[in-house]
Chain A
Amino acid sequence: MKLNIEGLLVYFPYDYIYPEQYSYMLELKRTLDARGHGVLEMPSGTGKTISLLSLIVAYQKASPLEVTKLIYCSRTVPEIEKVVEELRKLMEYYSKQTGESNNFMALALSSRKNLCIHPEVSALRFGKEVDGKCHTLTASYIRAQRHSDPDVPVCRFYEDFDAVGRQVPLPAGIYNLDDLKDFGRRKGWCPYYLARYSLLHANIVVYSYHYLLDPKIADLVSKELAKKSVVVFDEAHNIDNVCIDSMSVNITRRTLDRCQGNVDTLHNAIQKIKETDAEKLKMEYRRLVEGLKEANVARETDVYLANPVLPDEILKEAVPGTIRTAEHFVGFLKRFLEYLKSRLRVHHVVQESTPQFLKDIFDKVCIDRKPLRFCSERLQSLLRTLEIADIADFSAVTLISNFATLVSTYSQGFTIIIEPFEDRTPTIANPVLHFSCMDPSIAIKPVFQRFQSVIITSGTLSPLDIYPRILDFRPVTMASFTMTLARTCLCPLIVGRGNDQVALSSKFETREDFAVIRNYGNLLLEMSAIVPDGIVAFFTSYVYMENIVASWYEQGILENIQRNKLIFIETPDAAETSMALEKYQEACENGRGAILLSVARGKVSEGIDFVHHFGRAVIMFGVPYVYTQSRILKARLEYLRDQFQIRENDFLTFDAMRHAAQCVGRVIRGKTDYGIMIFADKRYARADKRGKLPRWIQEHINDGSLNLTVDETVQLSKHFLRQMAQPFRQEDQLGLSLLTLEQLESEEMLKKISQIAHQT
């Protein structure tokens, strides 16, 4: 259907539209008009992706000079593929309606592992191996060597691409990963480099967060994207953690050992090259005297993404004399390494700020701040000079040099924590140096500064106002959309008491309480008897889950549950978990019924959807607070309090509730789906917890479902399940939660729609 969104003609590839989609597009349009950033929350399964795509594509078509490119960031490869498929549908609709052939180019980009078509390289299993192998075949000096010695193996796909691929632009169309591979095979071009090259003139790019947020990758891939782009972060409820992870470094003793090996290799390589080709080293030396001017020139044209690892000032200076020659630099690295080793030989926990660390390193081994800052860049230069092909082997030393650069660059927003052992195993020495980023805004700042509109969207972003605060940006729109429903298909219940009136809670004091554990078991048992097919249960942590399950086993609760359903358990091992998941789905499919016990923040809680019968109920045992004794967290909380005036408690609750919402949100994946959401902790009933749930869940929690006993829960659920099992067809939705164009354009409906968006 063709929609008119405040004067913009939007082609929408479906015959029906959800009211909230219309509302979402309205808000999105306003954000784009204002050239600002937006935070939008809309429940999953209501067609967020297609709304985003339709509107932004329409905007691009209407004013091609204002918005030149859409950069759509998603989390996983399947999600990326899904976005591309939606886009394909939209484009087909466009060409059908307008009669013109499609002149849009959209493509997905993923790692080499997913795009490589080289027969030997693509057979490798791990991403790192593929990257390394690819590098040994395509590095510039390898190819240079080939000129003199034709026996050096190179990748013919890359060669062909390099020879002709750049002159001919990729024809317009929609390319997912497989399409790119097909195209590459047909032409004999490397799909990965083709995609990377084509990013520049593509209208729509779909790729993973890391290509934009992780400074190391962003530098390679996303450097030259136009300023007038719209960036969308989908499923962005964890974006702050992604930012932090991309800037943090953990160094263990093993890293240091491997690094030692790297440094020795470097040393030998330098000796060798000195004997054979001393000229090369001299040339490098000269280049370094000139300073990092090359990079500087590129930056001044203002089309590059600022690299947070390498701040602006650094480029203006020459590489300091102490590390200019290769031997000196290796010696420098050795000293730095020894220093780190000595720091790891601690018996108590040390926490210090970056200036403290720098002062200490100066006192102990006389390493100045300045050479440290150039460490990362200097290492890259050295690796290039030494013509080391397989970069993957040098990950340890790269990590250390990155750490050196980061630690000497940022005096704020980072902390260094050295722990002699893990908290869980206080007797086993396993020293770790955490260089932890506490400020997610550091990594994302260049994105906000550079692109004209950044949209952060997800099914669970409540409370909305906290994201702008922790990411340090000013949005022009913040809105939360509810789900309009023809029937109430979600049933959130807060269970606060057992049948014996014992308060249910996972809080620390009652964690070991026998009565609480028994009542939790009772809840699961009763639910297993009345909920059909699949139930997903989430615990707050692996340790807690182990304790509870062991205790249930002793009490015979597990045995009783198994009469109703099979039990599967998520473990930290990914292979085991995916096996369990597969069997779980099989059991749901053939009527045996199953329960999946899993952990909030685990793999299951984040990426896996339990549509329809795979999840008819989800039970959240306890409030999934992050492990509060962790020093990294404590440091971060302190930082948030000092810098952003966010109280510790507010942040902890926010973090716990967004994970709880993620967990329970797994069961509702659309309007025809239905599911029970059980919050089994009396603390959920409090306004501060409840108020932080997404609005679309919150509005279905009424006073009657606040502090229920197990029995009441069972009664309500039974009733709900019977109601939901009644036949439900599309016609029942029509006019209420599903609209045709005529219905949409009626006065009354437009008025209703304006109430869907909840501005904050």
Chain B
Amino acid sequence: MDEEPERTKRWEGGYERTWEVLKEDESGSLKATVEEILFQSKRKRVTESHGQVRLGMMRHLHVVIDCSRTMDDHDLKPNRLTASLKLLETFVEDYFDQNPISQLGLITTKNKRAEKLTDLAGNPKKHIVALKKAVDTVCIGEPSLYNSLHLAIQTLKHMPGHTSREILVILSSLTTCDPANICELIKTLKSLKVRVSVIGLSAEVRVCTVLTRETGGSYHVILDESHFKELLMLHVKPPPASSSSECSLIRMGFPQHTVAYLSDQDAKPSFSMAHLDSSGGAGLSLGGYFCPQCHAKYTELPVECKVCGLTLVSAPHLARSFHHLFPLQAFTESPAEGLHVDRFCQACQGELKDKSIFTCPICGGVFCSECDLFIHDSLHCCPCCIHNPSNP
């Protein structure tokens, strides 16, 4: 029963897409297709994000992963759960890469319950291990949006006011099984200034629309796997801080990495504080980062000191968050016909075939739309400006 319909579905999937493309050609001038609209919104995102806005650099994010029956669906390969977990792994890495002084926690929901997979912590490795382990989860029952949000705010509400409190829900199911009225919870979330965003894997659900609208989050539904990835990456970038959030100075420690050798007489092997609670993991080691305040040892940064509560970071971490504050200026869009000189993109050297081209306002370099997106999303600096040192 399971094998046969599976094959027909896949076949239809392929069939369907070709048909979509054909239709677009026929009446392309009449109807803007959904893809076109999507592309427009992508562009908009790039242009919108520029401008001096205060961003929440210290983030506390809970990711809720739906592990209900519907995650067994095979429309993402091999199934929704495996695909989502895999994408989440890269998400976790990127998240800590871009927000080094932030924290993340994982929650799963299935069978009308919500469970904490990992606590809020700043260590990507732990999350990734947990995610890898979660692949074998049996997907049963319905998810409970209420329970998972409730669980998430239990920890989030204790976070200090200058940090952002966020929840990201990966929801596959179209139904939720709640013990109480979710509208009340939405009000609580709103008053706690928790921003909830949802990525839907199947279709638009009303309650999520309301939830995200009320709490100021975003709601997206995936089209396919690559779109899913794109949507996840949207959440890597820190959201603008709400004007009402407090400003405060934060005490931070910048421990130096001490390298010690066995031959050294003074060197004593010691435990890393971060690994004390997890039974497995690293044992005794010699070197590490020592907290400048209490000398507790850690093998990895960033971390919050277990002993004295000081946030420990390294300087490069802070520097990496820097580009959020001074983003690359948006390139100006102009129609391709206006260009006479060279019809090649400065970045990929490909021919400019699109309707419009993008020009860097500083160095005047010309780029295609793909490279424009790449430069703004990943590089964060214009390759031509760097190439010509005369143009700072």
Contact = CB atoms under 8 A, between A and B. Distances in A.
Interface of A: 485-488, 499, 529-533, 563-565, 588-593, 612-613, 616, 704, 711-712, 715-716, 718-719, 721-728, 732, 736
B175 A564 contact: yes
A704 B16 CA distance: 10
A531 B16 contact: no
6 contacts: A532-B206, A565-B175, A588-B206, A613-B206, A722-B222, A726-B38
Interface in B227-286: none
Interface stretch (B5-13, B299-307, B343-351, B363-371): B5-13
Given A563-B142, A590-B182, A593-B174, A487 B37 contact: yes
Contacts of A530: 174, 202-203
Contacts of A499: 5
A264 to B, nearest CB: 59
A532 B16 contact: no
Greatest chain B CB density within 10 A among A531, A589, A728 is at A589
B221 A725 contact: yes
Interface residues of B, number: 42
Contacts of B220: 725-727
Nearest to A702: B23
A702 B41 CA distance: 29
Interface string B24-45: 0000001111100110110000
Nearest to A737: B31
B318 interface: no
Contact of A487 (B19, B34, B204, B205): B34
A736 B31 CA distance: 7
Contact of B208 (A488, A591, A711, A723): A591
A499 B6 CA distance: 13
A715 B9 contact: yes
B206 A592 contact: no
Of A488, A588, A612, A723, most buried by chain B (CB within 10 Å of CB) is A723
Interface string B132-171: 0000000000100100000000000000000000000000
Among all A-B residue pairs, the 6 with the closest Cβ atoms: A591-B207, A725-B221, A613-B206, A725-B204, A721-B203, A532-B203
Nearest to B200: A725
Contact of B207 (A531, A589, A716): A589
Contacts of A565: 175
B76 to A, nearest CB: 12
A736 B32 contact: yes
Given A487-B32, A487-B33, 5 more contacts: A532-B205, A715-B12, A715-B13, A725-B221, A732-B40
A563 B206 CA distance: 18
B2 to A, nearest CB: 13
B132 to A, nearest CB: 28
A718 B175 contact: no
B40 A532 contact: no
A484 to B, nearest CB: 9
Nearest to B23: A702
Nearest to B223: A722
Contacts of A591: 145, 175-176, 178, 182, 205-208
Contacts of B182: 590-591
Contact of B16 (A592, A612, A711, A715): A715
B97 interface: no
B223 A485 contact: no
Contacts of B8: 711
A590 B205 contact: no
Contacts of B384: none
A477 B257 CA distance: 86
Nearest to B175: A593
Given A532-B174, A711-B9, A726-B221, A718 B202 contact: yes
B375 to A, nearest CB: 24
B93 interface: no
Contacts of B75: 718
B205 A533 contact: yes
Interface in B377-392: none
B52 interface: no
Nearest to A485: B31
Contacts of A728: 37
B347 to A, nearest CB: 28
Contacts of B41: 727
A563 B141 CA distance: 8
A592 B175 contact: yes
A564 B223 CA distance: 22
Nearest to A593: B175
Contacts of A715: 9, 12-13, 16
Nearest to A724: B204
Contacts of B12: 711-712, 715
B31 A486 contact: yes
Contact of B206 (A485, A612, A716, A732): A612
A371 to B, nearest CB: 64
Contact of B181 (A563, A590, A716): A590
Contact of A721 (B31, B183, B202): B202
A565 B75 CA distance: 21
Contacts of A723: 34, 223
Contacts of B178: 590-592
B177 interface: yes
Contacts of A488: 31
B223 to A, nearest CB: 5
B70 interface: yes
A716 B220 CA distance: 20
A529 B13 CA distance: 18
Contacts of A532: 174, 202-206
Contacts of A529: 70, 174
Nearest to B142: A563
The residue in A533, A591, A716, A723 that gathers the most chain B C-beta atoms within 10 A of its C-beta is A591
A529 B178 CA distance: 18
Nearest to A499: B5
Contacts of B203: 530-532, 616, 718, 721-722, 724-725
A590 B183 contact: yes
Contacts of A725: 200, 203-204, 220-221
A593 B145 CA distance: 13
A487 B207 CA distance: 23
B206 A726 contact: no
Contacts of A712: 12
A715 B200 CA distance: 17
A719 B16 contact: yes
Interface in B168-224: 174-178, 181-183, 200, 202-209, 220-223
B57 to A, nearest CB: 27
A356 to B, nearest CB: 60
Contacts of B70: 529
B40 A533 contact: no
B221 to A, nearest CB: 3
B31 A590 contact: no
Contacts of A612: 206
Contacts of B69: 563
Interface string B78-95: 000000000000000000
Nearest to A613: B206
A77 B142 CA distance: 41
A569 B49 CA distance: 49
A732 B204 contact: no
A564 B204 contact: no
A726 B199 CA distance: 11
A727 B33 CA distance: 13
A525 to B, nearest CB: 13
Nearest to A530: B202
Nearest to B37: A732
Contacts of A718: 75, 202-203
A715 to B, nearest CB: 5
Contacts of A716: 16
Interface string B319-339: 000000000000000000000
A612 B209 CA distance: 12
A616 to B, nearest CB: 8
